[in-house]
Structure formats: structure tokens, C-alpha cells
């Protein structure tokens, strides 16, 4: 029996919250968040989901393609 191929798995801690931000009309909720790879001290902060996705893509590319010596 042949072994099944393995696929990389990643674990991240994502925290999302909203803060009130001043506007011309008063205050509006503003997205805020942080993401951290489990077991890593590195934390990235974001204010858009695009920034969150960019960080996750960057981290998974780094893991999948280790730097060559």
C-alpha cells in the first residue's frame, strides 16, 4: 500500500476587532487586527483584510520554499 501524499499545514492566531475612528460626521468603526504564526514571536498588524491575506501568503511561501544556501 502506498503512502498518501502529505500537504503542508499551517496554524495562525488571528485577532480581529473594531475601534471607533473620528470622521467628519462623528465616529465610524474601523477594522483592526493582528496575525501570528503559532509558535512564532512575529506578529503583524493589519487594518484591511487585503493586508491579512498578503501576510498569510508571504508566510506560507516562506515555509513552502525555504531559502537556498
pTM > 0.85: yes or no: no
Task: State the Cα–Cα distance between residues 30 and 42, nearest whole angstrom.
Answer: 23
| CA distances for 16 relative to 3, 22, 23, 36, 44, angstroms | 39, 19, 21, 12, 12
Query: Which tens digit of pLDDT belongs to each residue from 2-21?
Result: 677 677 788 999 999 999 99
Query: Which tens digit of pLDDT belongs to each residue from 12-57?
Result: 999 999 999 999 999 999 999 999 999 989 899 999 999 999 989 8
pLDDT of residue 60: 85
**Which residues, 6+ apart, have CB-to-CB distance to 43 below 8 Å?**
34, 35, 36
Rg (CA), the chain: 17
pLDDT of residue 45: 96
**Residue 40 has what DSSP assignment?**
-
Amino acid at each position: 500500500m502506498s503512502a498518501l501524499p502529505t500537504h503542508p499545514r499551517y496554524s495562525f492566531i488571528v485577532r480581529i476587532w473594531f475601534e471607533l475612528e473620528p470622521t467628519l460626521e462623528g465616529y465610524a468603526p474601523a477594522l483592526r487586527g493582528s496575525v501570528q504564526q503559532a509558535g512564532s514571536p512575529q506578529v503583524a498588524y493589519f487594518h484591511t483584510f487585503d493586508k491579512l491575506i498578503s501576510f498569510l501568503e508571504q508566510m506560507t511561501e516562506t515555509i513552502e520554499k525555504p531559502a537556498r544556501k
